[in-house]
Amino acid sequence: MAPIPDGAKVWLVTGCASGLGREVVLAALAHGDCVIATARNPERLADLEQKGARTLALDVTASQDELRTVVDTALGMYGTIDVLVNNAAYLLEGAIEECSEQEVLDQYNTNVFGMLRVLRAVLPHMREKRAGIVANVGSAGGWKGIPGIGLYGSTKFAIAGITLALREEVAPLGIEVTVVEPGAFRTSILGKGFVPAKTPIDDFEPLTKPLTTHVANFSGKQPGDPARAAQLMVEALTKSGRCKGKALPSRLLLGKDAVQLGRGVLEQNKSELEEWAELSGSTDFQDNNSKI
């Protein structure tokens, strides 16, 4: 079992072969922490291992028993896991009707059910020691349904809902939880991580064809810097640097575009809520005299 430097935390990060996951590993290592980086193909993590990370093969779509075995192996490396970052995901593109049941199941199996399997494997350890930090990576797309990637977005809505409930469930046990919601970042999500539905429908071509063209042109030109996002994540999760003295937020938006989208959604939701408040409240039993 490897020694842990004084004050260092041990991180377990999924989806580290590229993008945000890889940058989180590098930022945590630079912070002086110990990191266990995982991916389906650990050969793609060789450079991270050279930089000081320990590496493991971890496929979030594997069975619960297999993932418990992988997490047990991770625990054997340092004897603990202090920070879990659930990051593995891909993007299914297509109008809602175009996406087959199997494509939807596959999308949820990686983005949502895989996250849940990893949580079930790690949380018992954190509960036992009454300490831990969990960051589930969602998306700004979990704030607003976006035509053409609605089913991907729905997985991010699910991640947010699960994370917000989990945050309250485990807070009394000393475990902190947040959902990290990036905007458009320069990662492979619009490249290798972008999977079009296999059965297009002509009626939706005016929507999906421009979207596909936009994605091809936008990939590699996104405004978000994954390294800077990872640096903020490390500071927020460890309450260090710019985040010293700050409580971990329930939702951590990353990128100016994400903040702008979030503000717009909140304003629209508030406007609709107030417009319909009286009618919405009229559905209670008449003996309910409470005011809206």
Select which of 78, 90, 108, 152 is catalytic: 152
C-alpha dihedral, 104 to 105 to 111 to 112, nearest 10°: 120
Residue with tokens 């054997």: 76
Question: ∠ CA 184-186-187 to the nearest 5 degrees?
Answer: 105
First to last CA, the chain: 58
Query: Whole-angstrom Cα distance, residue 194 to residue 192?
Result: 6
Rounded to the nearest 10 degrees, the angle between the axes of helix 19-30 and helix 226-238 is: 50
- Read off the tokens for 288: 């309910």
Nearest to 139, CA basis, from 229, 220, 55, 219: 229
Alpha helical stretches, state H, 53-100: 64-78
**Known catalytic residue: 78?**
no
Indicate the burial class of 267 (C-beta count within 10 angstroms; 0-12, 13-18, 19 or more). Answer: exposed
- Write phi, then psi, for 145 (nearest 5 degrees): -70, 130
Among 255, 52, 267, which residue's Cα sits nearest to residue 138? Answer: 255
Distance, CA of 15 to CA of 125 (rounded, Å):
21
Q: How far apart are CA 40 and CA 18, in angstroms?
A: 12
Q: How far is CA 266 from the centre of its chain?
A: 21
Catalytically active residues, by annotation: 152
